[in-house]
A and B are shown apart, each in its own frame.
Chain A
């Protein structure tokens, strides 16, 4: 009897999780693939018989849709500017915090991590206020310095940059912690040897810290990039993709088509194109990393 319960036990432990993951993660991806080849919309939700199989039509239409192309361009803009900024800031701050000899420096870990744990909607509401053209703090401070007001959220290009500033502010914390953990893993003897050889601080960073952090930098750049490719909540709450689709991201495009216009098939096709783009960019990153290694 004990033998049979031993055999059954592991399945009882993993069962609930496996069922939920299958139902809400694995099955949906197959379903999304099927839906993307159909013209499913709100009427299809009520009556499955009205759903028609339309082959690749959604895919060709999405790829020709000017607002989808625009959203891809915007997403690329966010990735190209956002990823390096997050990387540079979180790495520099991690190195600086680690240089501190006093325990007081631990306070900075908390301070810089704080924006990452707070609610994105609340944060977006606060930044909308900071960015307000007439009442906002930013334009007031600029005014005091005799600099003209900046159209933070009303100019298509500036709005993109404003969202990047906010997202970088939020993105520093988590990555900084990853870097701090990685720096702590570097053997102290490397630095002692370098100091005996008379290496200054900058040389120690350049020739010990950075090379030793190779893997952490790679990890952070991959996860950050995937995050920016799926950039959604900040533009969704702050700008809704406005002005003139200037902050419309691929994710926002998918959400709008799926849940605003109920074009499920069309949105599913868009989501697969984004998925493939993410896979492609990630593979390219791995390639580059391998090349740099060898």
Chain B
């Protein structure tokens, strides 16, 4: 009797084990398909132009070369594009700070028009980019900001979703803590900088990573506003590269690798924060 129960338990345990293996294999096959384009991209970027067009294709580069990357910087102005992209990233961090301020304002103050203004902020989330694209261009044109870095950066500086997340998080900061700081004679802004922001590190971290990724990847708006190659971002430069060097695949792969790998590294290092953000933001 006893052995029969043990036998049954052992059976379910081994059944469970097989099942776990089955799931793992299924996910591994899917996962390989997910990373295949990236692997192909990175490996091709180190091949010579001749090797990339060879049939049958090689998987591992026969003649490992960095020439493609050198070409990007020596004759294609990728250095300028990189600088512009980093400026956009920095500016978007300033935008992040403004979002945090607005989130705090909505979370911890009672003031006239609060409800109305907050709904106004939320309403902007529902407006599709296609509708505002043309008028925003016209507004910037009126302000004389087309073809300028300010014109690229300004429209995307603040965002309703980020404000919303900050408000959610900061609502939970205990009132007594803020009161105590105020009693110590700190101004409102100092309270925000020295108490509120440090407490908000978890949400700040998530937003910072997402802001970095967003800034690094920004494409459509710089494309619309920048006429001058001096203002192009990496993605605008890369789409240009694709159009002008249709048959130079190794070069194209090097450009793509240069865009994608930094984000991959940042994402893999910080993914824990992003993925857990979805529990913070309460999407259930």
Contacts and interface: CB of A to CB of B under 8 A. Distances in A.
Interface string B22-66: 011011001100110110110010000000110111000000000
Nearest to B241: A125
B242 A237 contact: yes
B283 A181 contact: yes
A10 B109 CA distance: 6
B211 interface: no
A29 interface: yes
A20 interface: yes
Contacts of A268: 131, 134-135
Contact of B260 (A118, A127, A226): A118
A119 B102 contact: no
B171 interface: no
A252 to B, nearest CB: 10
A78 interface: no
A201 interface: yes
A24 B117 CA distance: 15
Nearest to B218: A119
B93 to A, nearest CB: 14
Given A111-B35, A259-B224, A126 B132 contact: no
Interface string B2-35: 0000000000000000011001101100110011
B198 interface: no
Given A97-B27, A119-B259, A181 B158 contact: no
20 contacts: A10-B110, A18-B102, A18-B117, A25-B127, A26-B123, A28-B131, A28-B132, A31-B138, A99-B19, A102-B20, A112-B30, A117-B213, A120-B217, A129-B44, A135-B249, A181-B278, A219-B283, A232-B130, A233-B220, A264-B138
Interface of B: 19-20, 23-24, 26-27, 30-31, 34-35, 37-38, 40-41, 44, 52-53, 55-57, 98-99, 101-102, 104-106, 109-111, 114, 117, 120-121, 123-124, 127-139, 141, 154-155, 157-158, 160, 163, 187-189, 192, 213, 216-217, 219-220, 224, 234-236, 238-239, 241-242, 249, 252-253, 255-257, 259-260, 263-264, 267-268, 271, 275, 278-279, 283-284
| 4 closest Cβ pairs, A-B complex | A13-B105, A10-B109, A28-B135, A17-B102
Interface of A: 5-7, 9-14, 16-18, 20-29, 31-32, 35, 45, 93, 96-97, 99-102, 104-105, 108-115, 117-130, 132, 134-135, 137, 140, 169, 172, 177-178, 180-182, 184-185, 201, 215-216, 219, 226, 230, 232-233, 237, 250-251, 254-255, 258-259, 264, 267-268, 271-272, 274-275, 278
